[in-house]
């Protein structure tokens, strides 16, 4: 009985980390950051690819109210950072440079969960 309870607890704790979307977190000093502008423009060129891969995007600026999220994702300094979070809630990729849609889609399409999704499509 204890073993069953433990197994259920492990399954519940693992499933609580799973999300229905992959997340792109963009960190920048301000809206005026050139790399951020280029990244947003690049991502806007392929809505279908983002939808197909269940991607959402959130942008955070260096402001006191965002301090906790910066600490959580270990974003330091005052530059631009791109962070990809998988459906399992874990960080999959990080860059301080512009990430092309081609690079992003290639990274995601190599993930085991994405490979399973493509088999179902």
Closest CA to 36 of 99, 91, 119: 99
Better-scored residue on pLDDT, 113 or 9: 113
Structure tokens at 1: 């009985």
Average pLDDT of the residues in 64-69: 92
Average pLDDT of the residues in 85-99: 95
pLDDT tens-digit map of 3-16:
544 444 444 444 44
Q: Where are the domains of the chain?
A: 20-120
pLDDT tens-digit map of 13-64:
444 446 789 999 999 999 999 999 999 999 999 999 999 999 999 999 999 8
Q: What's the pLDDT band for 2 if we cut at 50, 70, 90? A: low
Give the pLDDT of residue 119: 74
**What is the Cα–Cα distance from 4 to 70, expressed in whole angstroms?**
38
**What is the Cα–Cα distance from 40 to 2, expressed in whole angstroms?**
50
* DSSP notation for 39-95: HHHHHTT-HHHHHHTTEEEEEEES-GGGHHHHHHTT--SSS-EEEEE-TTSSEEEEE
CATH topology for 20-120?
Glutaredoxin (3.40.30)
**What is the Cα–Cα distance from 54 to 86, expressed in whole angstroms?**
10
């Amino acid at each position: 009985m204890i073993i069953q309870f433990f197994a259920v607890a492990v399954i519940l704790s693992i499933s609580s980390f799973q999300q229905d979307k992959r997340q792109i977190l963009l960190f920048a000093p301000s809206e005026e950051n050139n790399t951020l502008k280029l990244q947003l423009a690049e991502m806007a060129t392929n809505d279908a690819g983002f939808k197909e891969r269940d991607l959402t995007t959130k942008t955070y600026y260096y402001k006191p109210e965002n301090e906790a999220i910066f600490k959580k994702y270990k974003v330091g300094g005052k530059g631009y950072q791109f962070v990809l979070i998988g459906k399992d809630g874990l960080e999959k990729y990080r860059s301080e440079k512009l990430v092309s849609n081609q690079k992003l889609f290639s990274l995601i399409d190599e993930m085991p969960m994405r490979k399973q999704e493509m088999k179902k499509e």
